[in-house]
Amino acid sequence: MKIGELSKATGASIRSLRYYEQQGLIASRRMDNGYRDYNNLSVEQVKTIQFYLQLGLTTEQISGFLNCVMASKEAFCEQIMPVYVSKLREIEEQIALLSSIKSNLQERIAYLLEENPNLKERNEA
C-alpha cells in the first residue's frame, strides 16, 4: 500500500509516517517509480505506535520495545515495564510541580485580593 493509503487507514499524517520510518519504527520498500510501498502489517504497527505516543512515550522509547510488542504482545515484553515506571515517575514529578505552582498562584491571588478588595470586583466582571 502507498503512503497515502496507510495514512487514511491509520489517521496518521503522511509527515508522521515518514518520521516513523526515519526513526526505524516502520519500514517500506521502494517501488520502481520511487513510491514507498508498505505491507499490511504497517497498519497495525502505526496504530500501536499511536497508542504508545498517546501514553506520552517518545519514539525513541517505543523503538526499544515495538518489535517485541508486535511479535508477542505487551504482556510478554520485559522491556516495557521500566519504560512505564519511568514515565509514571516523570508524570508524578510534573503533577507535584504543577500543584506547587498552583498553590503559589492561589496564595498570591489571595494576598492581592486581601490587600486590594477592588481587584475582586474587576476580575469578576
pLDDT at 74: 78
pLDDT at 124: 61
What does the pLDDT look like over 3-16, one tens digit per residue?
A: 999 999 999 999 99
Is the pLDDT at 46 greater than 60? The verdict is yes
Three-state DSSP class for residue 21: helix
Q: Are residues 100 and 54 in the same domain?
A: no
Domain that holds residue 82: 78-125
Distance CA 114, CA 32 (A): 74
From the centroid of its chain, how far is CA 118? 44
pLDDT at 102: 97
What does the pLDDT look like over 62-102, one tens digit per residue?
A: 999 999 999 888 778 888 999 999 999 999 999 999 999 99
Q: Are residues 3 and 28 in the same domain?
A: yes
Q: Where are the alpha helices (DSSP H) in 1-125?
A: 3-10, 14-22, 41-54, 59-63, 66-72, 80-115, 118-124
Q: Which three cell numbers stand for residue 96?
A: 507535584
Q: Are residues 102 and 56 in the same domain?
A: no
Q: Are residues 9 and 53 in the same domain?
A: yes
Domain count, the chain: 2
pTM of the model: 0.79
Cβ–Cβ contacts within 10 Å for residue 31, how many? 10
- Contact of 31 with 38, CB cutoff 8 Å: no
- For the domain that residue 58 is a member of, what is the CATH number? 1.10.1660.10
